[in-house]
Every structure is written in structure tokens, then in C-alpha cells.
Structure 1
Amino acid sequence: METIKRDPYASLRVPEFKYFLVIRFAVIFALSMQFAVIEWKVYELTNDPLSLGFIGLAEIIPSFSLALFAGNIVDKREKRGILLKCLAAYFVISTSLFLLTWDRAVAGIDKQHVVLLVYLMVFCGGIVRAFVAPATFTMLSLVVPREALTNGITWSTSAWQVGGIMGPALGGLCIFWMGVHWTMLLVVGILLLPFLSLLQIKPKPVHYKETGESVAQRLSAGLKFVWKTKVVLNAMTLDMFAVLFGGSVAILTIYAKDILHVGPQGYGLMRAAPAVGACLTMLILAYRPLVNKPGIKLLAAVFGFGIAMIVFGVSTWFPLSLLALFMSGMLDGISVNIRQTILQMKTPDDMRGRVSSVSSMFIGSSNELGAFESGLAAKLLGTVRSVVFGGCVTLGVVITTYIISPAMRNLDLHPDKKD
């Protein structure tokens, strides 16, 4: 047992987990690449920072509204079948976006209506995402043995983190190399990979047991669990506010075009810099899991993330901007890894879908709301001031959490210890 725990490749020896990693990486890689392309196209059509914020808002409205309902459905039904339907829907949505970003396909349609149609497709993607998040979270514990779960969490969150940052990085570079609409066609092709990989995983058992609870009771069970499990609540809250105010991904387009003057190629490099940092984090955490004082390490990582964002915000020297983004990727990778480990280790099997949905409301929603906040703040305060303000808020949230949360300060994820 002890040998398995220390094996950095324990979960990778499980064949179905390898296919799961391909799904985990490829889905977020394709969708985040798509998001970057959409941001570039919308800003190109509108030249308005607030229009970038509306992209995030269009996705978060359905995702947030349907989260609890989706989590309940995922807990009650077979997860592989749900994911197959979701991937098919993503394929249709991405194909539609390819057509909307192709000038020949939208000839005769004015720019305003093209932008509105893009928002509509993003809205549809938000509906699908409400089901994808809990289904993927639950699938992990079904393809990895319990003794290798901590290691599987490290590889899974690392794949998600790297894919989520490498996708838009490649998106920015491909815009430079081949143009917007052909980059979107590449996204459509990439989405075939997770679909084929999912077919290699067998259907999984459903752990849900009918208890006679009303619909309202089932939907609220995840919220009640998170509220009672303070360390889970603290981790979600900390990450939510850090992402909501500290991120600046949504306005990298403005930095590339108007502040650093590096164009699409520099935009791609800025997107790639956090990916390099996240890759380094993945390699380190595979060998040195963060089980000792993870709460303190989570607080330190988010604090460092806030500092990196402030440095990026004020920098007018491209190499320094890249370094700040590199550090933000490393530190965000640590934060995501610890939070996912807390969720997987503390959540009962029959509630994984609902608890994951609550997490998506906290964390996933904050990404899109953060995009809206970034666009709105850039409009009201100016781009540089908005990034610095967000970084300062992040620091304040970390300090407050450290002071008021002894559960986070004393957290230990060793399997033989309790919080």
C-alpha cells in the first residue's frame, strides 16, 4: 500500500485512466482554445473591452442556473452516457462557431448580429458545461482505484490545468498562422479525440440510492454538505474570489494589441507562459504531492498568484509580463491541485455529482464572472488599473481567510489524519 502511494505513476498504470486523461486534457484544450479565438474575433468586431466580458456572462448564466439540477441528474445516471451526449453537443456548437467566424459564411449579416449569434452559441455551451463538470469529476473516482486516487487527482488536475492554458496559447498562435476561422475548424477536429477516447471506457456503476427525498432536498444536498464541511467551503471561497478578481486572461487581447503592442504572436506567447508554469507544477507534484500543510500552501499559492497579477498589470516590458504569467500558471496549478484533492478526498461517492456542481458554481462560474468583471473594470477603471485592483483584492482575500479560518491553516490530507 505504501509503495503505491509513493509511486508517481500509480494511476497511469490503469488503462482506462489514460483514456480519461486524454478526455480531460482534450476537452478543456479545445474549449479554451475556442474561447480565445472567440475573444479575438469579438474584440476585432467591436473594439470594446466590455464585449469580452459579455462572452463570459453568456456562458455563466446557464451553467450557474442549471448546476444543481445537473449534479442531481449526474448522481442518478450513468456518467459515460452523459459525457457522450455532452461531447456530441460541443461538436455541434463548435461547428456553428466555425461558420460564424468565417467571413464567407456570414456575408450579408451585420457585425452586431454576428456577435449576438456568437453569444448564443456560448450560451448553449454553458448549458452543456453544467453537465460536463460533475460527470467528469465523478468519472475520475470510478476509473482510478482508491489507493491511487490522490495520484490520479494530481495527473487529472494537471491535465486540466495545462490543457486550459495551452489551448488558448495555441489558439493565439494559430490565429497568427492560419486565421480565425481555420483555427476554429481545428477546434472542431480536436473535439473528436475525447469522443473516441470515451468509447474506450466501459459504462460505470451508479452509486446513487433512492432515499425518498423530495427534488428540493436532493438538489440542496450538495449545498448543505459544502456548508457543513468547512475546509471544502473555505477552499472553494478562496479560489472563487481569487479567480473572480485576480485573473486577467479575458483582457490579454487588450494587452497584446494596445499596451504591449505584440500582436497575435505575442498574444499566443502570453497565453503559453502560464501553460509552461503549469507543466512544471505537474512534474513536481507527481513526485511531491502536497499532503503536508496543504492549507498553508494553498494560501501561499493564491497570495503569490495575486502578486504575479499585479506585476503583470503594471509591466510594459514584454519579457517581464511573460515571467509574471509563467509564475501565475505555476501558482494556479498548485491551487487547483490542492482544491481538487480536498474535494475528491472529502466527498462521499453518492454525492460527487452534486458537490461537484456546487464547486462549478463557486469556481467555474467565477472564471466567467471574472471575465465579465475584467471587461467591466477595464471599461471603468482602465485596463492596467483593473488588473492591479484585482490583484490587490486577491491578496486581501488570502489574508482574511488566513485570519478567520483555522480549519484551512491546520488542514492535513494524510489518509490517517482527520481535520
Structure 2
Amino acid sequence: MNTQAHNEAYRRRDLPICLGVRFLSEASTLALSVVIGWSVYKISQTPLTLGIVGIVEFIPAVLMTLPAGELCDRLSPRPLVVTGLALQCCCALSFLALSLLHTKGLWLFYGVLLLLGTARAIAEPAAQALLPLLVPPDRLPRAVAASSTAWQMAVVLGPVVGGVCYAMGSSVAYLVCAFAFFAATAGAMTLCSQRSRRERLSLQGRIARVKEGFAFVRSEPVVLGALSLDLFAVLLGGATALLPVYAQDILKMGPQGLGALRSAPAVGACLVGLVLTRFPPERNVGPKLFAAVIVFGVATLVFAFSRSAWVSWLALAVVGASDMVSVNIRTSLIQLATPDVMRGRVSAVNALFIGASSELGAFESGVTAALLGTVPAVALGGIGTIVAAAVWMFAFPAIREADRIDIKLG
């Protein structure tokens, strides 16, 4: 077999494995988040503790994501993915131990969450950098859609499994999550590494390389605008952190209902993702991006005021569907614009923006809910998302006027 044929076979073999690892890791992550959220709220009975969960996971994201991206460029994405998944398996086992000991101290949960956030900060930029190395550039938008669909399918099943397992006991849920993380780690270990080059750099050299990632994002208005729009939209419009409050106090659905609510965005995203794998956005991508963010905000408003389980579920499904369109356009644009030698660092900046918006959004939602109430907090977030989309539409005309996903940058 010649080298070209070997490389093609290698790509065909590794991409399905990569998607399987993505599915298992995200499904277990979401199942774990359902169990942790319900356990923490059951102990404290205050939404502020749910916000603290977000900020605890945000701290390692800020400290570790960018160095992990730089290390990914110097070495290879695969070992960082394996390390992150193995640490998440250890975290699930730690939660299992806390459950078996009937621990009520929230500080112990927060301590394990700190390690869990560190593991995710290590794995996420490497996982993003790995996917473009497995497919030719012309297939990347479809591969991104396939990866996003695998992720969303995991979000459909993960929370449901978490809720069902929690009904059988939190220990069962933690054990299932640990096993899924272990299987994902084993799968990641079978992936071939396409790059492995070790560079000896001083601390100053590493810091300079990290800065290069920020400099690239800052120098490209389309990339900067797309990333910052996503950050503020999710920061303001995220209702996920408060779903335990809705499930227990507003909709009266219990832990199984919480799992169903957590799965709703992924159901909508999966349906849209399947369409995008066959019909990726090719024209008018800028207007489509803004339209998706506005729909995201409107659906969040509907969810905020709904008192019907079905209406709430459908609103969250629309949230996920619109977010899938936004993620697909933004990720494809960034990956196609990024050279291989900087992919890990730019993916780290992207992961930091996403992590910051998610975890800080959870903290913002928890604090606002504690001060104003749960429903006003979610409603204000939806309004803020719509306002952010309108502001970005005028602040970044390059995005508003973007026609094709392979727009020439710089």
C-alpha cells in the first residue's frame, strides 16, 4: 500500500472512532452534570449554588485551556485528549465515593468539580484540533456537522440516562458515567497521532506562542466577531444552569423530567445537524448566523415564561436547533481560516470563549436568579441575547456581509 492510500485508509478508520469518542465523552459529561446539579440543589435548595458550580468549572478553563492549546501544537492532540478523558473518569469515580459515603459537604463536590473543569480544559482544545487532521479541507464542514451531530445525540441520551440512573440511585449514575469515560479513553488511545514534534521552549517562548493564538483571532474581524458573538449570546441566554429549579419548583417534573429538559436542546440540534451534514450552509452565512442567534434568544424567552412541560420542551428544542446552525457556521469558518501550525492555539481560544460563556453564564444565571427570581433571570438572558445580536450586526459588518463559509480572511 502506497503512502497516499495508507493515509486515506487511516483517515477512514480514525474519523468514526473520533466520533464515537466524542459521543461517549459528551454523553457521560451531560449525564454527570444532571446528577451533580440535582444533588447540589437537593442539598442546598438555593439556585446560587448552581451558579457556584459554573464558576468553579470556569476557573480551570481560564488557567488551563490556553496552555493546553499551545502544548497541543507542540506535541499532538491525541495524548491530551486521552489525558483529559482519563481525568474525567477519575472524577466520576470520586463522585461515586462521595455518594457511597453520603457526603453532604458541598465543598467536596466543588473540589472534584475543580478537577473536572481542569480535565475538560485539557481535552477540549485538543479534541477540536484533532478533527481537521482527519479529513480533507473540502470535507471539513460536513465533518464538523457530523461531529456536532454526534455531540448533540450524546446530549439527547446523556441527560436522560443521568436522570433515569439517578432515580435508581446517584451511585448507579456515577458508576455508569465512569464506565463511559473509561470506554472513551480506550477509544482515544487507538487513534493514530498525525503529528508528534517536541520543541524545547523557554517559559517566555511558550507565552509568546499562546499570544500568537490571540493575535490571530484579533487580526481577523470575522473570526473575532463570530467568537465574541457566541460568547455573549451563551453568557446571556443560557438557561441550562437553572433547569433543576424549573424541573423541581416550576414544572414539578422530578429528576427524570430534568433529564428530558436537558435533552430537549440536543433533539432540536440533532435534527438540524442531520440536515447540515447533507446540506451545509454555503451562501448568506453571515445573515444566517445572526438569524440563528436571534431565534435562540426568542426561544429562551418562551421557555422563561412557559408553565407547560411540552411548551418548555419545544422551546428548548428550538434553542438547540438555532445553536446548531450558529456552531456549524462559526466552527467551519474558524477551522478553514486557521493554518495547521496554529490550530491547537486557536482552538484553545475558541474553547476558552465557549467555556467562559457556558460557565460564567451559569454563574450569572445563578446570581441573577438568587437576586431577582428564576423566571426574570432567564427572561433577561433571552432579551440580552437578542440585543447582543443586534449590536454585533452593526459592530462587525464583515460578518453581516459574509456570503460563503470559505470567505477569504485577512
Aligned to 2:125: 134
Matched-pair contact (CA < 8 Å) for 1:74–1:131 = no
2:196 is aligned with 1:196: no
| Candidates 145, 149, 153, aligned match of 2:144 | 153
Matched-pair contact (CA < 8 Å) for 1:154–1:282 = yes
- Using the TM superposition, give the Cα deviation of residue 47 of structure 1 relative to its aligned residue in structure 2, in angstroms: 0.6
Secondary structure at the aligned position of 1:261 is classed as coil
Matched-pair contact (CA < 8 Å) for 1:11–1:149 = no
2:228 is aligned with 1:237: yes
Change (3 A) 1:413 1:197: farther
Distance (Å, rounded) in 1 between the aligned partners of 2:153 and 2:326: 13
Map Cα deviations across residues 231-284 of structure 1 (whole Å, 9 max, x no partner).
Answer: 111111111111111011111110111111122222222122212111101111
Distance (Å, rounded) in 1 between the aligned partners of 2:116 and 2:260: 27
Distance (Å, rounded) in 2 between the aligned partners of 1:346 and 1:395: 27
Aligned to 1:219: 210
| Candidates 329, 351, 357, aligned match of 1:338 | 329
Distance (Å, rounded) in 1 between the aligned partners of 2:233 and 2:197: 34
Distance (Å, rounded) in 2 between the aligned partners of 1:228 and 1:211: 25
- Using the TM superposition, give the Cα deviation of residue 211 of structure 1 relative to its aligned residue in structure 2, in angstroms: 9.6
Distance (Å, rounded) in 2 between the aligned partners of 1:203 and 1:124: 26
2:408 is aligned with 1:418: yes
Distance (Å, rounded) in 2 between the aligned partners of 1:322 and 1:141: 34
Secondary structure at the aligned position of 2:93 is classed as helix
Aligned to 1:348: 339
Matched-pair contact (CA < 8 Å) for 2:23–2:154 = yes
Aligned to 2:75: 77
Distance (Å, rounded) in 2 between the aligned partners of 1:191 and 1:267: 22
What is the aligned-residue RMSD (CA, Å)? 2.1
Aligned to 1:7: none
Instruction: Map residues 167-316 of structure 1 onto 2, 5 A cutoff.
Output: 167-176=158-167, 178-206=168-196, 214-316=205-307
- Worse-superposed segment, 198-207 or 60-69: 198-207
Amino acid corresponding to residue 128 of structure 2 in structure 1: F
Paired positions, count: 401
Matched-pair contact (CA < 8 Å) for 1:68–1:220 = no
Amino acid corresponding to residue 159 of structure 1 in structure 2: A
**TM-score (normalizing by structure 2):** 0.93
Secondary structure at the aligned position of 1:14 is classed as helix
- Using the TM superposition, give the Cα deviation of residue 414 of structure 1 relative to its aligned residue in structure 2, in angstroms: 4.8
- Using the TM superposition, give the Cα deviation of residue 145 of structure 1 relative to its aligned residue in structure 2, in angstroms: 2.2
Instruction: Map residues 336-415 of structure 1 onto 2, 5 A cutoff.
Output: 336-415=327-406
Name the % identity.
38
Matched-pair contact (CA < 8 Å) for 1:207–1:350 = no
Aligned to 1:36: 34
Change (3 A) 1:252 1:12: farther
Matched-pair contact (CA < 8 Å) for 1:157–1:340 = no
Amino acid corresponding to residue 313 of structure 2 in structure 1: L
Aligned to 2:5: none
- Using the TM superposition, give the Cα deviation of residue 292 of structure 1 relative to its aligned residue in structure 2, in angstroms: 1.1
Distance (Å, rounded) in 1 between the aligned partners of 2:9 and 2:334: 18
Matched-pair contact (CA < 8 Å) for 1:309–1:328 = yes
- Worse-superposed segment, 77-86 or 351-360: 77-86
- Using the TM superposition, give the Cα deviation of residue 203 of structure 1 relative to its aligned residue in structure 2, in angstroms: 2.0
Secondary structure at the aligned position of 2:404 is classed as coil
Change (3 A) 1:219 1:152: same
Map Cα deviations across residues 80-122 of structure 1 (whole Å, 9 max, x no partner).
Answer: 22222222211111100111123xx24xx5x2x2x11111111
Distance (Å, rounded) in 1 between the aligned partners of 2:222 and 2:164: 40
Amino acid corresponding to residue 216 of structure 1 in structure 2: I
Change (3 A) 1:311 1:11: farther
Distance (Å, rounded) in 2 between the aligned partners of 1:346 and 1:195: 30
Distance (Å, rounded) in 1 between the aligned partners of 2:404 and 2:197: 24
| Candidates 118, 123, 130, aligned match of 2:114 | 123
Matched-pair contact (CA < 8 Å) for 1:32–1:165 = no
Map Cα deviations across residues 17-63 of structure 1 (whole Å, 9 max, x no partner).
Answer: 00000111111111121111100001111111100111111111011
Aligned to 2:311: 320
Instruction: Map residues 23-102 of structure 1 onto 2, 5 A cutoff.
Output: 23-102=21-100
Map Cα deviations across residues 355-374 of structure 1 (whole Å, 9 max, x no partner).
Answer: 11111221122111111111
Distance (Å, rounded) in 2 between the aligned partners of 1:267 and 1:286: 29
Change (3 A) 1:210 1:298: farther
Amino acid corresponding to residue 182 of structure 2 in structure 1: L
Secondary structure at the aligned position of 1:125 is classed as helix
Matched-pair contact (CA < 8 Å) for 1:66–1:130 = yes
Amino acid corresponding to residue 352 of structure 1 in structure 2: R
Amino acid corresponding to residue 270 of structure 2 in structure 1: C
Structure 2: 5+ residue stretches without partners: 1-7
Structure 1: 5+ residue stretches without partners: 1-9
